[in-house]
Amino acid sequence: MKEVRNYQVIVVGAGHAGCEAALASARLGADTLLLTMNLSTIALMPCNPSIGGPGKGHLVREIGALGGEMAACIDETCVQMKWLNTSKGPAVRSRRAQADKYLYRQRMTRTLFNTPNLTLRQGHVTEILVKEGRVSGVKLETGLEFECERLIVTSGTYLNSRIILGRATWPGGPQNQSPALGLSESLVKCGVSLRRLQTATPPRILKSSVDFSKLGELPGDPDSGGFLWENRLRRYERQISCFLAFTDEESVAAVRRNLSESPLMLENITNVGPKHCPSIDRKIMRFPDQIKHQIFVEPEGWESQELYLQGLTTGMPPAAQQEIVRSVKGLENAIIMRYGYAIEYDALAPGLIRKTMESRALKGLYTAGQINGTSGYEEAAAQGLIAGINAALAIKGQPSYWPSRTNSYMGVLVDDLSIWQKPEPYRITPGHAEFRLTLRDDSAERRLTRDGYLIGMVDEERFSRINAWTTRIEDELARLNDLSLFPSGEMREKLVSSGTGDLKKRVSGCEILQRPGISYNDVKALLADEKDDWLMAPDEIYSLETEIKYRGYFERESEKIAQTKFLESIRLPLAKVDERLASLSPHIAEFLLSDQFDDLNQLVRKNCLSRSDLAILLTVLRQDSEEVVGDPEVLND
């Protein structure tokens, strides 16, 4: 049976990747169908109730800046918001929110239902239809078929998924939903190779069974502002605290007593799981001398009576879970409402997607989220957004959107993913970004909103508001730079008395601000007579101060950025390798012509090029391009 109506874009799965993908596609005007196995669990957070943190929070800011939904949604539905890393520097500070899981789902569902060009339907996709070597539609379990030009698969951890709880194991998706069966076989038939990954979630306990007097309280920060630019100065008066508990000798003993029931020991699960959230069993095994492990006790919503035990992830059987939980001070009488479990699922083999989220194996197919071997809601949403944008751009016949490592964590994420070869799932952190001063949390709009506007994700009105804001900061930067003056006697006195030392020569406003201990407001007080258009908003002042104070670091970083940008601009595969490149090692020519890499920068990052190979390549490319080509010496860093 064939649906009468065809769609331009079909998105399979309504998790965090699927929601962003569907919204982006529909907002860019593509006639979009979002298919989910369960319309009641759209934007489900089956694991932790938090969004943000270093790297992840940067992604959420960027999603908001580019016109995605996650930032707006979490800003409205959080029960706590706070800054992390504020004392460690501008490059790594980031917001983190605790979500009301139920409100988040509701709000995202409402947004989806109210978006023009977007249809939502419940259905279990079991087959990808292919015509003449490209995707032509999908087939449901019911036999129903839908046609489309572009297909975005965001199957999360549902694909052929299996729940593991000690020795017990059964086919099942997160929170015991149905697994997605059949689609794996269809993907393999399309030439997409798969691998098995696993992850796990901790038990949830009843709030009223916890002795909070034994736990440390972790309150939120009312002044943190939200992720979305529009909410940047928003105050969050009403918040719920998180709490901190610790394991001790008793808990470690409890884990040890039960290790024989751990899926890790039973070996009834693949060993390939996320490095960054190991189960408590794995932690005790890997770090046998460490007794004190943190457990964050986090609310799941305003009304929810469940508490999430971040740090006690496990797939051990229920009796073991109860023993371990109750060994923790403060949780002696805890009642487990939902047991933790491990889940094993299918994901794509590494190297099968481009930076645009398009499949290298099948034309018209895009994948986003955990199917690509990532973990985390934020990583999924960012990929969904890129996939949705690119699917819709393709429908319009416009060139794809390629985020860059030099302009966003999204760029770092998709670039890493397209050449990621490690077995374990990928999670974004600032450690992955080589230009993290430029990719600061506060600069997201300056890096991405123009892109969003040009693509069509950001409307005229929002763009002009944000643009006025970024222009204000940039103009002030230029003005302070141009403001050159000889310090007055009064000013010199003030400088000496503030402890930064005398100034005896002509300086710019920036140079004064660069002095240690001098803030923008000090400069303003010193130079009040020189100009009158001073910045007022704290966020604008923060960005400005950061860029002036660490100018040397920015300058060194921007040199490297220019080189990376150039290397990224050489898209692979090349159409041909001409005789000028004959002296390259033969395997380099192979790399340049085969569809394994998206750009030259990836080859450099993978250390595929020797210094001399790179020098030859750049010489030839320099002949072909008017652009300034970087110095191979530096490029080979």
Partner 1 sequence: MSKARTDTIAAVATPPGRSAIGLIRVSGPAAFEILKRIFKTGGKKTFPLPHCAYYGSIIDPESGFIADKVLVTTFVAPHSYTGENLAEISTHGNMVVVSKVLQIALRNGARSADAGEFTRRAFLNGKMDLLEVEAVSQLLSAGSMSQARLALNQLDGLPSQFVSRIRSRLLDHLVQLEASLNFPEDAIEAIDEHILARDLKKILAELQIFAENARNGSMVAAGLKVALLGRPNSGKSSVMNYMLGRDRAIVTEIAGTTRDTLEESLTIGNYAIRLIDTAGLRQPGDRIEAIGIERTRSAVAEAFALIAVFDGSDLPDADDRLVMAELERSGKPYLVLRNKADLAQKLPDAFFDGKEQIVVSALKGSGLDRLVEELRRIIEDRGLGEYEELVLLGAQQAAALDKALTALERACAGAGRMYQDMLAIDLEEAVRELGRVNGETVDVNTLDLVFERFCIGK
- Using CB under 8 A, pick the residue from 608, 614, 629, 635 that binds partner 1: 608
369 contacts partner 1 (rule: CB under 8 A): no
Fill in the per-residue mask, 259 to 278: x = in contact with partner 1 (CB under 8 A), - = not in contact: ----------------xxxx
Fill in the per-residue mask, 501 to 540: x = in contact with partner 1 (CB under 8 A), - = not in contact: ---------------x------------------------
290 contacts partner 1 (rule: CB under 8 A): yes
- Using CB under 8 A, pick the residue from 3, 29, 76, 89 that binds partner 1: 89
CA end-to-end span of the chain: 58
- Distance (Å, whole) CA 158 – CA 370: 9
- Distance (Å, whole) CA 308 – CA 310: 6
Residue in 236, 233, 216 with CA at minimum distance from that of residue 81: 236
Find the shortest distance in angstroms from Cβ 283 to partner 1. Answer: 5
446 contacts partner 1 (rule: CB under 8 A): no
As a dihedral over the C-alpha atoms of residue 604, residue 606, residue 611, residue 617, rounded to 10 degrees, the angle is -40
Query: In this complex, which beta carbon is closest to partner 1, that of residue 11 or of residue 439?
Result: 439
| Whether 106 contacts 45, CB under 8 Å | no
498 contacts partner 1 (rule: CB under 8 A): no
**How many residues belong to the chain?**
637
Fill in the per-residue mask, 32 to 71: x = in contact with partner 1 (CB under 8 A), - = not in contact: ----------------x----xxx----------------
Q: In Å, what is the CA distance from 538 to each residue of 54, 223, 444, 519, 522? A: 21, 11, 16, 12, 14
- Count of other CB atoms within 10 angstroms of residue 524: 17
Beta bridge partners of 129: 137
Tell me how many residues contact partner 1 (CB under 8 A).
45
- Using CB under 8 A, pick the residue from 2, 5, 88, 189 that binds partner 1: 88
208 contacts partner 1 (rule: CB under 8 A): no
84 contacts partner 1 (rule: CB under 8 A): yes
Q: Which two tokens stand for residue 239?
A: 């918040």
Choices 121-129, 248-256, 286-294, 525-533 (CB under 8 A): range interacting with partner 1: 286-294
Choices 155-163, 310-318, 348-356, 381-389 (CB under 8 A): range interacting with partner 1: 310-318
Q: In Å, what is the CA distance from 285 to each residue of 40, 248, 264, 282? A: 39, 15, 10, 5
| Whether 91 contacts 437, CB under 8 Å | yes
Specify the 3-state DSSP secondary structure of 366: strand
Mode of pairing for the β-strands spanning 204-206 and 336-338:
antiparallel
Choices 33-41, 115-123, 308-316, 617-625 (CB under 8 A): range interacting with partner 1: 308-316
- Strands (E) across 448-527 are located at 484-485, 507-508
Fill in the per-residue mask, 577 to 596: x = in contact with partner 1 (CB under 8 A), - = not in contact: --------xxx---------
- Count of other CB atoms within 10 angstroms of residue 443: 23
Q: Give contact residues for partner 1 (rule: CB under 8 A).
A: 48, 53-55, 84-85, 88-92, 275-278, 283, 286-287, 290, 292-294, 296, 310-311, 313, 429-432, 436-437, 516, 550, 553, 557, 585-587, 606-608, 610, 633, 637
